[in-house]
Each structure stands twice: as C-alpha cells, then as structure tokens.
C-alpha cells in the first residue's frame, strides 16, 4: 500500500511537471497580435459603440493575445478633405513603428479613408470593413486585401411589416438625411417604390428639424413614418441618435417605424432592425479567419442582412398593436414580466431558504433546553451591561456638555478676536463684546468698566440688558480700590472671583442686579497698564470652572488690547487732523500772499484769442466762490466752478456754451474734474515757486555773507555789509550803527 502511495505521488509530480512544460512552451510560441480598429464616428454614438462592443467581444472570445487599438475619425462632425489629410499625417507618425496584423473599419467614412490612404500608411496590412451601406463589390478593384460585411438595412422587411400591421396606410413619410449613409438608403427606397403601388412615398430630407416636426404633426391617419438615419438636418445642426429619434416620435401624429436598433426605446414602434453589435460580431468573425491564415481576397464580402424583428412594448400599447400580430421570435423591450418571471430568482431563493429554515427550526428545537439554561446567565450579564451602559451614557453626556461649553468658549474667543481686528470704534466694539459673551454662555449680566482720566473711578462703558442701559444712563461708576469686586480688580490687577456671592465676606450689592449668585471681575490689561475690568455674572452658584476663567481672561486681554489700539488710533487720527489743519493754514496763508502780491492772475480764452480777463466777476462766479460748489447760470448755458486747493477756494473757472446750448450732467462732471486737476497743478506750481524763491534767498544770503567775510577790518566789513544788504533788498536807505543811543561817540557808517 505504501508503494502504491509513492507511485501515485511520483505520477502526480510528473503530471505537474508536464503541465508546466506545456504551459511554458505555449507561452513561448504564442504571438501577440495588434488589430487597429478605425471607427468613422465618435465615442458615444450608439450604433458605432455597439459595433465596437461586438468586435471586442468576438476578438477576446477568440484570443486574449489580441490587442485592439481604436481610432475615431469623428466624421459626423468633421468630414473635409483637409481634415482627413491631417489625420493621415498623424497616423503616419503614430503607427510608423507599429507592426499591425489587421485593420477593421466601421461605416463608410473609415472605409473611404482606408481606400485612399491604406497603401501609404499601412502597406500590406489586410482590412476587414463593416457598416458599409449597400456595398458595391466593384469598389474592391485594386484593393485585393480588403473584404468585409455590407451593411444592408432591411428597409423592405420593415415596410412589409408596417403595412401588414397597418393595412389602411396610403402614404409612407420617410425621414432621412443626405449623408453618405442617407443617400444609400434613399437609393434603396427608390428601387422599392414599385413594390407598393397603392402607397405614396414622401421624403423629408435636407430640411430643418423644426419644419420636419411641423409636417409630421399634421399627417393624416392613413400615413406611417419610416425613420432611417438622421444625424444632420438641412440647417447643418448635428443630432445624436436618441435626440433625433425622440424629436421625430414626439412630433409624429402616426406610428413611427425604423431600420436601425439604436432608435428603439426612444419612441419608434420597431421594425426589422439592423444591430451594430451584430455587424461588429460578423466583421470580427471574418477578422479571425484572416488572423488564422486565410487571404482576404479568398473571403467574399458578406451581402446578407443581419436584421431582426424588434419592438417597443410601450409603443405597441400606445398604437393598440397586439403582440399576436407580430412575427415569431420578435424581440420586445420594456415589456413587464409576470410575477413568476420577474421574481423567479427570489422564489427559488425563498424555497431554498424555507428548506434551510425548516432544518434550522428542527435543530433549534433540539437546543431550546440548553438555550433556556444559558438565558438565565445572559439575563444576569445583561443587567450588569445595562448598568455599565447607563453609567457610560451619563459620563458621555457630561463630557459632551463640557465639550460644548468649551466649544462655545472658543467660538466666542474667535468672534471677539475677529471683532477686535475689524471694529475700531469703542462705542461699537464694547457693546458688541458684552452681548456676545452673554449670549454664548447664557449669563445673567456682562459689563465693561474703563478707568477714567483721574484714575480714581472705573466707569461703566457697556452693559447688557435693561440693567446695563439703566446704569449707563445713570453714569454708573465704582471707586478704584473700593469695596466692589471691580474696584479691587482694577486696583490689584488680579481677577476677583466669587462662586457664591451670598457667602462672600466682602461683596458690593447692586440694586440693578439682585439675582446674581456667581461673579467674576477680570482685569483689562494691555502693554503693562490696567485699562479697566470686565464683570461676568450668573444666576447659578459655582457657575464658573477653571477652564472658563482662563478662556474668559484671554478674551479680556484681547478686549484690552483692542481698547488700547482704538485709543492709539484715535490719538493718531487727532495728530493727523492737527497736521492737516496746520498744513492747510500754511497753504491758505501762502495763497493769500500770492493773491495779494501777484498781478495778472486771470486769463480769458475765446474764439478770438487767449488774453488777460480783467476784473470779470459775474454773479454766478461770486456765488461759486462763496458756496465752494459749481453754480450754473443764464438758463444753464454758463457754469462757474470754484478752484479749490486743500479745502480753500482760490479762484473760479467760468465756462460758457456756444449758441445757447446747455451744460449736460456729463459735461459738468468733466469740467469739475478738470478744475480739480487745475487746483492740483496750481498748488504744485506755487510750491515750486516757493522752493525757487527760498533757493534764491539762500543763494543771496550765501553771496552776501561771503562778501562780508572777505576782510577782517571792522570799517570795511560794515561798509560792505551796508552796500550788499541794501542792494539785495532793493532798499532806498539803510543805516548800521554800533553802540547805544546814549553813546554819542559810536561810529556811524551810513549809505543812503
């Protein structure tokens, strides 16, 4: 027996080695092959997507060593010769170093592209086509390596079916486009018209969609609509399959039949429909034959249609077409299933489940006694677990409340921090802070005190509620260092906290806040200075915890910094305003001197010339000077605009419109803007003149000083000084006398 076991083990080992060897040999001999699939249209176009799916399914079923490379020509949107030339240049670069075993094309655009460029781009590579509508085999002359499947839309099958279901029909309205495929379908329909002598064919082609829909909505009851292909209307607008099918079906007053399955489910009744997936599978079967060694020229083009009868259950019900009149083996979509068909899987599962449950019940019945004994122990354990759970829930609630309170603290601190950076005005900032703190913590009262200039009193600057308003109106203040918590807090710079004011040794009773039970006084510290204090009061005993105190003190510090910054800002604004007023006074005095000393500072310009204006002061000009604002006159034909320099009027510009026209609002605004710029320019010119004058004065002083210092002789110095100063200042007479009036012997040097 042991020998047999050993022999069996050896045999099994040899089998495994053999299988591994065969697999290795197979892996070495398997050749990876590349198939290029050129799709005429674009991804998302249902018929070509169905062809792609059929090709992929068949090739992958045949071999997993085939790599399918897919290119889309997008010919529904672009179809010029220049566009296809550019694609050819692209593919020449892209596939220059790629060895292809086979090319598959779908629809006419891709086949025509390959007829023109295949010899140049893919020399010697066999081609299998599909989707070529009503293909003429004579087109293969000179293209021996081409074969494929002719796409034959079974128009006759659909017409025969539709006329059988609607024998009263006297008119067939064909909705078709003028693309390459549409032209093929049109030619086929023309050849079929003779088969139906009692029916008139009307073609709606190369028309705008709106006109087609209007004509379809007015069709008589003895008509039918045959929808073939419609990707572009007469206006050049492109439509996806689901869009044009839905528009046609919704507009038509009679049933609509089709020829391709991509329209099914979007409003057509049905028909003998060509399927993209079927066309792709048929092309893939030819491709497999070529990959297995057959020559393309030995495989004839498939000319048989692959259409099937397909219908939409919703449309059958809409047009009262019974299923009994449909051909056998018809495919019907959207058909509701019977209860058994719909839930067959669930019924089977339920049956199996019932059997399993029956067995389980029997087994459970055998274990009832054992479970009852276990239940007693479980009940005891459950009581213990419930007690633990209740304890945990209580702790979780406490933790949640603590976390929520902490979150409120942090949120209030963040809002106060934001407010202190955005609000500079203390009259707005302080009420905002006290209201925010009170709302976040549901407090009884919050107030802010600031130390006055004397440093003796802490004055209430903001308080919440009616009590705060009443105390503010009364001018409420507390003595620094007095008996109140605020007074002690400001005096010591330390927080003062009473968790139960009723038991406090020292507490100041406030008649406006009789319900206070807990209170905190927090100092407002900024840059080493105590600016005041914040009082926080609650109606609960022991309402504050250490974390609350730390967070609130941080907020108080932020408030103190904001108050300090606001005061610094007010001081800076006051300094700037003082400087502005001082500079304005200087500028005003300077212009007063200019206007007093200068002459000819008036100009008049008209069509004749630009010249001095003279003493011209019309009433509107005087009014503009006094009002420091533009004043129109003479019924709106004149406009006087004051010239302003640093809030001082130094002159007036008076403009008159020609021919009695009136100043518009835009023109008035333009003149006002130009006059403002004139004021800026005049001020710049004045400053430049003052600078030049000061430079000249400094230069004159330097020259006179240099002449005076040319000698150390007193008489010569006096004489030179008298002459130079009189000449420099253009004086009539200048006297320099040394000594005192009582000294008759003092020397005199006089130049007159």
| CA-closest candidate to residue 79, choices 188, 191, 181 | 181
What's the angle, vertex CA 617, arms to CA 615 and CA 622, rounded to 5?
145
* pLDDT (0 to 100) of residue 118: 93
Collect all residues with Cβ–Cβ distance below 8 Å to 186 and sequence separation of at least 6.
174, 176, 203, 205
**What are 106's strand-pairing partners?**
39, 130
Instruction: Give the pLDDT score at 274.
Output: 86
pLDDT confidence of residue 446: 93
Task: Tell me the pLDDT tens digit for each residue of 154-180.
Answer: 889 999 999 999 999 999 999 998 887
pLDDT at 28 over 80: no
Mean pLDDT of 146-151: 91
Give me 635's structure tokens.
Answer: 């019924």
Q: Residue 419: pLDDT band by 50, 70, 90 thresholds?
A: low
3 has pLDDT over 60? no
For the stretch 614-634, pLDDT in tens is 777 888 888 888 888 898 888
The per-residue pLDDT for 24 is 45
**333 closest CA partner among 277, 270, 274, 273:** 270
**122 touches 142 (CB < 8 A):** no
Give Cβ neighbours of residue 199 (< 8 Å, ≥ 6 apart). Answer: 163, 169, 170, 171, 172
CB-CB contact of 171 with 200 (8 Å): yes
Quick one: DSSP state of residue 338? P
pLDDT per position as a tens digit, 492-548: 888 888 877 766 544 557 888 888 888 889 999 887 888 899 998 988 888 777 777
Of 33-42, 501-510, 669-678, 703-712, the poorest mean pLDDT is in: 501-510
Q: Please state, in angstroms and rounded to a whole number, the distance separating the CA atoms of residues 502 and 169.
A: 103
Q: Kindly report which listed range (210-224, 276-290, 336-350) carries the lowest average pLDDT score.
A: 336-350
- Helices and strands (DSSP H and E) totals, the chain: 20, 25
Residue 598 pLDDT: 67
pLDDT, one tens digit per residue, over 458-479 is 999 899 998 889 998 988 999 9
The answer to whether the CB of 211 falls within 8 A of the CB of 160 is no
Question: What pLDDT score does 1 carry?
Answer: 46
pLDDT band at 422 (very low <50, low <70, confident <90, very high): confident
Distances (CA, A) of 703 to 248, 482, 721, 749: 104, 72, 11, 21
- Convert the pLDDT of each residue in 174-208 to its tens digit: 999 888 778 888 988 999 999 999 999 999 998 99
Q: Give the pairing type, strands 457-463 and 477-479.
A: antiparallel
| 572-611 tens-digit pLDDT | 877 777 777 666 667 777 777 777 676 667 777 777 787 7
* Cβ pair 173, 219 in contact under 8 A: yes
pTM for the whole structure: 0.40
Catalogue the E-assigned strands of 152-255.
Answer: 171-175, 200-204, 223-227
Q: How confident is the model at residue 402 (pLDDT cuts 50, 70, 90)?
A: low
CA separation for the pair 181, 315 (Å, rounded): 27
Q: Among the ranges 89-93, 233-237, 666-670, 673-677, which has the highest mean pLDDT value?
A: 89-93
Which range (97-101, 293-297, 512-516) has the least confidence?
Answer: 512-516
122 band by pLDDT with thresholds 50, 70 and 90: very high
User: Token match 């007063």: residue?
Assistant: 592
pLDDT at 507: 55
Q: Determine the pLDDT at residue 19.
A: 45
| Mean of per-residue pLDDT scores for the chain | 83
Q: Residue 409 above 70 pLDDT?
A: no
Name the pairing type of β-strands 200-204 and 171-175. Answer: parallel
pLDDT for the residue numbered 340: 65
- Among 319-328, 391-400, 667-676, which is the least confidently predicted range? 391-400
| Mean local confidence (pLDDT), 135-158 | 89
- What contacts 238, CB < 8 A, 6 or more positions away? 76, 77, 231, 232
Residue 125 has pLDDT above 90, yes or no: yes
Q: How confident is the model at residue 341 (pLDDT cuts 50, 70, 90)?
A: low
CA distance 534 to 617: 64
Structural domains in the chain, sorted by start: 30-152+274-305 (3.40.50.2300), 153-273+306-333 (3.40.50.2300), 408-571 (3.30.450.40), 599-685 (3.30.450.40), 710-751 (no CATH)
Q: Could you read off the pLDDT of 220-267 as tens digits, one per residue?
A: 999 999 998 887 888 888 888 788 899 999 999 999 999 988 889 899
Q: Pull the structure tokens for residue 371.
A: 């479970």
Token code pair at residue 118: 């295949």
Give the pLDDT score at 621. 84
Quick one: which of 436, 440, 478 has its CA closest to 458? 478
């Amino acid at each position: 027996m042991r020998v047999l076991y050993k022999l069996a083990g050896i045999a099994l080992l040899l089998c495994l080695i053999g299988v591994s060897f065969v697999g290795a040999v197979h892996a070495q001999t398997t050749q990876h092959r590349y198939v290029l699939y050129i799709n005429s249209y674009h991804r998302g176009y249902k018929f070509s997507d169905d062809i792609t799916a059929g090709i992929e399914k068949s090739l992958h079923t045949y071999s997993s060593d085939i790599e399918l490379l897919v290119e889309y020509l997008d010919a529904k949107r672009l179809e010029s010769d220049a566009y296809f030339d550019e694609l050819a240049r692209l593919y020449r670069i892209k596939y220059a170093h790629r060895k292809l075993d086979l090319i598959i094309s779908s629809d006419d655009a891709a086949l025509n592209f390959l007829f023109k460029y295949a010899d140049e781009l893919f020399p010697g590579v066999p081609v299998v086509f599909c989707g070529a509508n009503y293909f003429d085999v004579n087109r293969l002359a000179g293209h021996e390596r081409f074969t494929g499947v002719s796409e034959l839309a079974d128009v006759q099958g659909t017409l025969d079916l539709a006329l059988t279901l609607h024998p009263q029909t006297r008119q067939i309205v064909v909705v078709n486009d003028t693309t390459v495929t549409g032209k093929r379908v049109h030619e086929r329909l023309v050849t079929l018209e003779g088969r139906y002598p009692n029916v008139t064919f009307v073609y709606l082609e190369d028309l705008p969609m709106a006109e087609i829909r209007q004509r379809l909505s007015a069709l008589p009851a003895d008509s039918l609509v045959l929808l073939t292909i419609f990707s572009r209307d007469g206006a050049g607008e492109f439509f996806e399959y689901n869009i044009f099918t839905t528009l046609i079906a919704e507009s038509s007053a009679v049933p609509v039949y089709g020829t391709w399955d991509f329209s099914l489910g979007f409003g057509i009744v049905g028909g003998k429909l060509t399927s993209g997936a079927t066309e792709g599978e048929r092309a893939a079967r030819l491709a497999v034959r070529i990959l297995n060694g057959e020559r393309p020229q030995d495989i004839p083009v498939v000319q048989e249609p692959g259409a099937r009868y397909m219908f939409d259950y919703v449309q059958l019900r809409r047009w009262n077409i019974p299923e009994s009149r449909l051909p056998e083996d018809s495919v019907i979509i959207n058909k509701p299933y019977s209860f058994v068909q719909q839930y067959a899987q669930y019924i089977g599962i339920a049956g199996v489940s019932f059997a399993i449950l029956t067995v389980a019940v029997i087994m459970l019945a055998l274990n009832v006694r054992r479970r009852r004994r276990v239940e007693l122990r479980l009940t005891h354990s459950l009581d213990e677990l419930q007690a633990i759970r209740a304890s945990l829930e209580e702790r979780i609630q406490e933790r949640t409340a603590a976390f929520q309170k902490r979150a409120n603290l942090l949120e209030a601190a963040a809002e106060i921090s934001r407010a202190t950076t955005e609000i500079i005005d203390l009259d707005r900032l302080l009420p905002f802070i006290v209201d925010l703190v009170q709302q976040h913590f549901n407090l009884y009262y919050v107030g802010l005190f600031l130390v006055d200039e004397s440093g003796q009193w802490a004055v209430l600057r903001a308080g919440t509620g009616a009590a705060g308003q009443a105390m503010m109106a009364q001018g409420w203040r507390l003595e620094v260092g007095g008996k109140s918590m605020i007074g002690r807090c400001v005096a010591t710079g330390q927080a003062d906290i009473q968790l139960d004011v009723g038991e406090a040794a020292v507490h100041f009773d406030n008649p406006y806040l009789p319900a206070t039970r807990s209170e905190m006084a927090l100092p407002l510290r900024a840059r080493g200075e105590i600016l005041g204090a914040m009082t926080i009061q609650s109606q609960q005993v022991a309402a504050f915890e250490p974390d609350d105190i730390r967070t609130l003190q941080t907020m108080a510090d932020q408030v103190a910094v904001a108050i300090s910054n606001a005061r610094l800002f007010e001081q800076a604004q006051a300094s700037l305003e003082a400087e502005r007023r001082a500079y304005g006074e200087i500028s005003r005095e300077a212009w007063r001197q200019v206007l007093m000393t200068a002459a000819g500072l008036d100009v008049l310009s008209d069509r004749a010339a630009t010249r001095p204006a003279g003493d011209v002061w019309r009433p509107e000009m005087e009014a503009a000077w006094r009002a420091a604002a533009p004043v129109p006159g003479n019924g709106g034909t004149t406009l006087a605009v004051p010239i302003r320099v640093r809030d001082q009027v130094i002159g007036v510009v008076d403009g008159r419109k020609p021919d009695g026209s009136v100043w518009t609002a835009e023109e008035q605004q333009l003149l006002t803007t130009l006059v403002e710029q004139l004021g800026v320019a005049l001020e710049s010119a004045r400053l430049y003149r003052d600078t030049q004058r000061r430079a000249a004065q400094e230069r004159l002083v330097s020259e006179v000083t240099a002449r005076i210092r040319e000698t150390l002789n007193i008489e010569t110095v006096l004489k030179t000084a008298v002459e130079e100063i009189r000449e420099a200042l253009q004086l009539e007479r200048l006297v320099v006398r040394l000594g005192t009036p009582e000294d008759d012997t003092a020397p005199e040097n006089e130049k007159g």
